[in-house]
Structure 1
Amino acid sequence: MDNAFTTVVGLLGGLAIFIFGMNMMSDNLQKVAGEKMKNILALLTKNPVLGVLAGALTTAVLQSSSATTVMAIGFVSARLMGLPQAISIILGANIGTTITAQIIAFKITDYILIFVFIGFLMSFIAKTERIKSVGLSILGFGLLFLGIETMGDSMKPLATSPVFINMISQVVDIPVLGVIVGTVMTVIVQSSSATIAVLQNLAATPGPDGASIIGLTGAIPVLLGDNIGTTITALLASIGQSRNAKRVAVSHSLFNISGCLIFIWFIPAFATFIQFISPAGPEIEVISRQIANAHTSFNVVMTLLWLPFIWLMVKIVTRIIPDRKTAAGDSDPAVALYLDDRLLGQPIVALQLVAKETVRCGETVRAAMHDMGAALRDKDAKRLDVSSRKAAAAGEVCQQVTDYLAELFATGLLNEDQVTRTANLMSAINDIERIGQLCGDVAQIARRSDFSDKASEDLRDAMFLAEEMFAGAMRSMASGDSDEARRVNEGNSRMIEIEMHMRKGHMKRVASKECSPSLTKAFNRVLSDIERIGGSCLNIVEAFPGTTSLDYFLFEDSDVLDSVK
């Protein structure tokens, strides 16, 4: 009983250290990678081959195919990527996830604590965040292997257990059972990298005859099951998402299940091939590398098989999850279209979504200002209400974006540069929300005030100038164009002059009985609110000075620039 307890505790403890180390390495590699990660992800918009490459490289950095798949689901759900592009990412992610197994296959047992010490020392004495992140990445790498070593030591007593050996022999003799075991393990642990690490350690444990306790032919079915189990995370992530997002998750499952159905019939031949391409030597010494090579070969072969038939996979998953036969309507302007909580763990991607949502909010507010200017001129109460609701809806989304950014800050995954630029972005979003609120105030006052025709024309001209300034501020924020920023500043000067001129004009109309004296307060209040809109436009420009712009957050900014012209 004591031996069994020690084995279980050692296995679970080693697994915990492994997953903790892998997550630490992944989180800090993201901080170190920074712009390089953005460049890799920019490939997502290219052809399928580059999509496969991007998926593989991204997964190699994130150390998780599930994270990359969830990322692709988020992009599709946010309408930033088409289904064929996302499927190519999934194919690449399945290749990228094999990197972990390849790293594990290296025998660096004697150097584990050196990595732990160097990583700790760098993170402890580092003066800059980048060096600290590098140190924590090295520390995570060391802990990853320390967890593997702990699991390996805890498995050694299993080699002398008749009960365990009998269970393993059942798995070896019945491949389907091995697939089930691998699937269940990965579903429970939620990490194929972790379960494959356990499999590599188990296979490297010698039995009574000195050979591997499970052997390569016994390990391959479990490996196939591990690949199926990792798709469960994607399926769970797609719950509540768009139909295309669900199709991405199904395509991930289809990829691995189809591979399992093909390879399970050729396990002996596949094992022979893997032994041929792997280093020679005693089975116990080389089987970890053989499992890693089997993992890589399986995913590379399946990617090559499916890559020319992405169109077919699109048809299959579309047939499985058909389009809903309802009339397509515009998205709710009061609900964020791009934000996805599942992507908070990938700040580069999350900030891309925030930038897209910010542009969308800005365009909604600009359209509301345009409609409001026309409604002020025509004294159209109904149109004032519509434009006011539109501005209020944009304000609600701005608040959702602010809350999302707060959660992103709370993850601690942003590097120093991202923190500074994101704080500026949050400031600009607050000003966009404030402009929406001011538009609502203008509409509320105008609805209950019977201004004269001339007064209404003045308010329309002021609102159109404010709209022009706001559009310029959004263009400046998107592109960092200093000319746009200059025009916004000039517009603010004109706004001050126009406001003074309009106030004087109103008083002349009051004196000539054209306007009611009782409307003076309302007229001045509307002008004051419009002037405050101009002030918020200046704040937006100042939040993104010079070369600083939304371009920093975006992988491809052409569509953003088009939307704010």
Structure 2
Amino acid sequence: MSGGGLGFLGGIGLFVFGMFVMTEALKALASARMRAALARFTTTPVLGVISGAVSTALLQSSSATILTVIGFVGAGLMTFSQSVAVIFGANVGSTATGWVVALVGLKLQLGTVAMPLLFLGALLAAVGRDRRRQVGLALSGFSLIFLGLEVMQAGSGAISDLLLRTGLPSEGLVGMLVLVLTGIVITSIIQSSGAGVAIALVLLQDGSISLLQAGALVIGMDLGTTVKSILATLGGSTAMRRTAMAHVGYNLVADALAFLALPALPMIGRWTGDDATALVSFHTGFNLAGIAILLPLIVPFSRVIERLVPADSGPIPQAIDRRLLQDASAALDAARSTAEAVARLEFQRLAIALKPAASDPPSAAELLLAADDLEEFLSIIPLVETTGSTRNRHAALLHLNDHLHRLHNRASQHDRPRALVGQPLFRRPVALMRGALLRASESPMDARAAARLGRIHALLARRASHLRRSLLLWEHAGQVSPQALFDQTDGLRWLEHVANHTARIVHYSAVAAAPAPTATEAAAERTEP
């Protein structure tokens, strides 16, 4: 390959690497705000679409938005139908890169201006800390994007010669299908539809391809973004697979519409007077058309996806999807959801032990495996570039998991509750604890529930103390055997420990809920650049 061709490839590499660096920095800078906005402004499908589009356009990453949504769905903070609306919006937001390239990158030739900006960004990234370092990385990535565009433009002549020698597919039906397939392959390789659209825009501006051919490539590149989603369906969690399937379904509809409307693209070019603007308008337009068709049908669309990807069978939660580790906050949402599910099953298991029921208790072995998987997952969540509130959530979940394991061990001590159940003397404390466990297994694990369980634990501790003194007096009087004394005092101590672990689990679950930034963090965000 000639030097110009190698330069074109290098320009693509600079663009993709710049996108990666900028996106990671923006995620670190704006993740908390984006999560708060998504949680707040997804109450209706329209707001969900707008939230998804804005967050993706700002972060320049639909993957970051989708991972956050998956974490919300897994944690019960968002319904699947709400998440589908956000996914629709994320597809529109991902077209923002094309607009930046068409309106700024190709027209203003900012490669030279980007050099001092790159120096400033690299300096901040090297000597700065926390937010300053992330700002420096974002500036560096932004600069590399425009440098990559300039290098691509410089090497596009060699690519043009190559395309003229090899010959592009014709503008007929078969040729357009071949170009769509080519676009799918390009996006599958570089894993960035934004970079793919930038390549098409550079070749279009250079005259290497026609507007119609560029449109077919962009359709393929848009469809190629679903390849990652299809791969995500393999071995992923239910939330991950449903989200991926919704992404695939939406893109199939939007891109099929785009292919049917492809003959009208030259007319859009004549209307705008600029082929680059026409191409990005077409890209955004067919994504909006897909939303216009599917948004009124979002409920049946969601039901179809749920039927295609059914929930995992059985009450025991499955292993947490490790792909959520890409986003610490999304990983913590999933971990909290799993911890609550396991805790509820443990509460039910203990309630059955305090009053044997006809139903079988949850499997102890499977619950222990789920708790062990949660512990392993928590140990590998990346916390390097996270806020203090995120680290507090992580610490709370570690405490929760510790109490969960302790509660599991208590539930395995079958002889302890057996010494109390059926004894008139212990009927009231046993009934109180059993009712508290059943209520905890069904109610939200919030601060109010934690306070209520704390009061129940204190009440049981006082009653247990009185009952132990009574048992000692009865044993001294010969009314209770020494063995019964030991068994029943151990049972009372067991009941007190169960109440304590239950209260602490609910308390730490409430702490691990997504919090608002602390006053210190909010002040730091206002003062730091």
**TM-score normalized by structure 2?**
0.80
Indicate whether 1:530 and 2:499 are aligned: no
> Is the 8 Å Cα contact of residues 56 and 92 (structure 1) preserved in structure 2?
yes
> Is the 8 Å Cα contact of residues 402 and 429 (structure 1) preserved in structure 2?
yes
- The residue type equivalent to 1:222 in the other structure is L
Say if 1:62 and 1:519 are closer, same or farther in 2 by CA, change over 3 A: farther
Alpha-carbon separation, structure 2, partners of 1:305 and 1:517: 76
Aligned residue for 2:315, secondary structure, equals: coil
RMSD over aligned CA atoms reads: 4.0
Alpha-carbon separation, structure 1, partners of 2:366 and 2:238: 25
Indicate whether 1:418 and 2:390 are aligned: yes
Matches within 5 A, 1:141-290: 141-159=142-160, 161=161, 163-170=162-169, 174-205=175-206, 212-240=207-235, 249-277=244-272, 280=273, 287-290=275-278
The structure 2 residue matched to 1:405, chosen from 367, 373, 378, is 378
Say if 1:83 and 1:255 are closer, same or farther in 2 by CA, change over 3 A: same
The structure 1 residue matched to 2:464, chosen from 499, 507, 512, is 499
Say if 1:368 and 1:317 are closer, same or farther in 2 by CA, change over 3 A: closer
Matches within 5 A, 1:4-403: 6-7=3-4, 9-42=6-39, 45-69=42-66, 84-105=81-102, 106-107=104-105, 108-127=110-129, 129-159=130-160, 161=161, 163-170=162-169, 174-205=175-206, 212-240=207-235, 249-277=244-272, 280=273, 287-310=275-298, 313=301, 331-333=314-316, 335-336=317-318, 339-375=320-356, 387=361, 393-403=366-376
Say if 1:444 and 1:359 are closer, same or farther in 2 by CA, change over 3 A: same
Aligned residue for 1:46, secondary structure, equals: coil
Alpha-carbon separation, structure 2, partners of 1:439 and 1:346: 34
Residues 148-180 of structure 1 show CA distances to partners (whole Å, capped at 9, x for unaligned) of: 334333433223x3x432335435563222112
1:54: how far off? 2.2
1:429: how far off? 2.9
Q: Which moved more, 1:429-438 or 1:235-244?
A: 235-244
Alpha-carbon separation, structure 2, partners of 1:466 and 1:134: 53
> Is the 8 Å Cα contact of residues 88 and 307 (structure 1) preserved in structure 2?
yes
- The residue type equivalent to 1:362 in the other structure is A
> Is the 8 Å Cα contact of residues 21 and 143 (structure 1) preserved in structure 2?
yes
1:226: how far off? 0.7
1:220: how far off? 0.8
**Which residues of structure 1 form unaligned runs of 5+?**
206-211, 281-285, 555-565
Alpha-carbon separation, structure 2, partners of 1:399 and 1:453: 30
Residues 474-526 of structure 1 show CA distances to partners (whole Å, capped at 9, x for unaligned) of: 99994434x953x6555454444333333333333434544432344444433
Alpha-carbon separation, structure 2, partners of 1:138 and 1:39: 24
Say if 1:114 and 1:227 are closer, same or farther in 2 by CA, change over 3 A: same
> Is the 8 Å Cα contact of residues 212 and 266 (structure 2) preserved in structure 1?
yes
Residues 230-284 of structure 1 show CA distances to partners (whole Å, capped at 9, x for unaligned) of: 112222222345889756544533443344444435435323314523xx5xxxx
Residues 119-145 of structure 1 show CA distances to partners (whole Å, capped at 9, x for unaligned) of: 223333334x23332332222222333
Alpha-carbon separation, structure 2, partners of 1:71 and 1:461: 45
Residues 376-405 of structure 1 show CA distances to partners (whole Å, capped at 9, x for unaligned) of: xxxx9x98xx55x55665454333333223
Aligned residue for 1:276, secondary structure, equals: helix
Say if 1:81 and 1:392 are closer, same or farther in 2 by CA, change over 3 A: same
- The residue type equivalent to 1:407 in the other structure is I
Indicate the residue corresponding to 2:523 in structure 1.
Answer: none
Alpha-carbon separation, structure 2, partners of 1:541 and 1:88: 31
> Is the 8 Å Cα contact of residues 43 and 50 (structure 1) preserved in structure 2?
no
Alpha-carbon separation, structure 2, partners of 1:422 and 1:54: 26
Say if 1:494 and 1:470 are closer, same or farther in 2 by CA, change over 3 A: same
- The residue type equivalent to 2:465 in the other structure is M
> Is the 8 Å Cα contact of residues 325 and 331 (structure 2) preserved in structure 1?
yes
1:7: how far off? 5.0
Alpha-carbon separation, structure 2, partners of 1:252 and 1:489: 44
Say if 1:89 and 1:265 are closer, same or farther in 2 by CA, change over 3 A: same
Alpha-carbon separation, structure 2, partners of 1:468 and 1:393: 24
Equivalences, count: 510
Indicate the residue corresponding to 2:521 in structure 1.
Answer: none
Indicate the residue corresponding to 1:560 in structure 2.
Answer: none
Say if 1:392 and 1:247 are closer, same or farther in 2 by CA, change over 3 A: closer
- The residue type equivalent to 2:315 in the other structure is D
Alpha-carbon separation, structure 1, partners of 2:476 and 2:297: 79
Say if 1:198 and 1:300 are closer, same or farther in 2 by CA, change over 3 A: same
1:97: how far off? 0.6
> Is the 8 Å Cα contact of residues 340 and 509 (structure 2) preserved in structure 1?
no
1:219: how far off? 0.7
Aligned residue for 1:344, secondary structure, equals: helix
1:96: how far off? 0.8
1:360: how far off? 2.5
1:222: how far off? 0.5
**TM-score normalized by structure 1?**
0.76
**Which residues of structure 2 form unaligned runs of 5+?**
518-529
Indicate the residue corresponding to 1:434 in structure 2.
Answer: 406
> Is the 8 Å Cα contact of residues 70 and 330 (structure 2) preserved in structure 1?
no
> Is the 8 Å Cα contact of residues 336 and 509 (structure 2) preserved in structure 1?
no
Alpha-carbon separation, structure 1, partners of 2:506 and 2:157: 65
Say if 1:537 and 1:255 are closer, same or farther in 2 by CA, change over 3 A: closer
Say if 1:15 and 1:407 are closer, same or farther in 2 by CA, change over 3 A: farther
- The residue type equivalent to 2:296 in the other structure is P
- The residue type equivalent to 2:467 in the other structure is M
Q: Which moved more, 1:340-349 or 1:462-471?
A: 462-471
- The residue type equivalent to 1:480 in the other structure is A
